[in-house]
Amino acid sequence: MALVPKIVAQSILSALSNRTVDNDDVLRSQQTWFSYAFVHVMAVFETIYWKFTGKEATWANTGALGGNSIMELPNLIVFMVVVFGMLWDSVRFFAGYNTAATTHGTPLFFASLYLGGFLANQLWPMVRMSVQTYFGWSHKSLTDQGNIVGSFSLACMLFILCIWVYVESPNRSIFG
């Protein structure tokens, strides 16, 4: 529930600010930061290695290499696992798993789809570029058109899910 005010404030402030940077660029910077998490972790370990051994790292970014890099694989693997997990979650839900006594209910199904979709959305730009580079496609292919409505709708959906989970929880009622 604490994520809702953050997303709403980020969306509103980003839309209201007067600057020369396009709104889409501000929203995409979050995706870039998220997508480079694996590279940042690797850089920390390589810095420790360099400190102990005195040998500097010999890796470069994808653009400098002129092609794909092995460091793009974690994002691709996580993206594929998340998308597969969302599909598998949907199959299990609609195949009757929700009727079992051990289920956590419909709200958890939609919450897991939401969080999986959020994670896939954050990784998609980097995965898209990796796939385009690997297959030699134009960088204008597979382009998504982002806007403030998508970001704001994520916050609204998260708010609805939080209320839904609270109401559906055992021994709780919204009225008392």
Average pLDDT (8-16) is 72
The total domain count for the chain is 1
Average pLDDT (65-82) is 80
On the question of pLDDT at 15 being above 60, the answer is yes
pTM: 0.61
On the question of pLDDT at 50 being above 80, the answer is yes
Helix, coil or strand: residue 92:
helix
Q: Which of 70, 83, 4, 2 has its CA nearest to residue 38?
A: 70
The distance from CA 158 to its chain's CA centroid, rounded to whole angstroms, is 14
Residue 67 structure tokens: 């092609």
On the question of pLDDT at 34 being above 90, the answer is no
d(CA 28, CA 129): 14
Does some domain include residue 164? Answer: yes
Does some domain include residue 173? Answer: no
Average pLDDT (49-61) is 76
Does some domain include residue 96? Answer: yes
Domain of 72?
A: 3-168
Q: Which of 25, 33, 30 has its CA nearest to residue 6?
A: 30
Does some domain include residue 37? Answer: yes
Average pLDDT (116-134) is 81
Average pLDDT (57-76) is 68
On the question of pLDDT at 49 being above 70, the answer is yes
Does some domain include residue 174? Answer: no
For tokens 């009622």, name the residue: 173
Query: Across the chain, what does the average pLDDT equal?
Result: 73
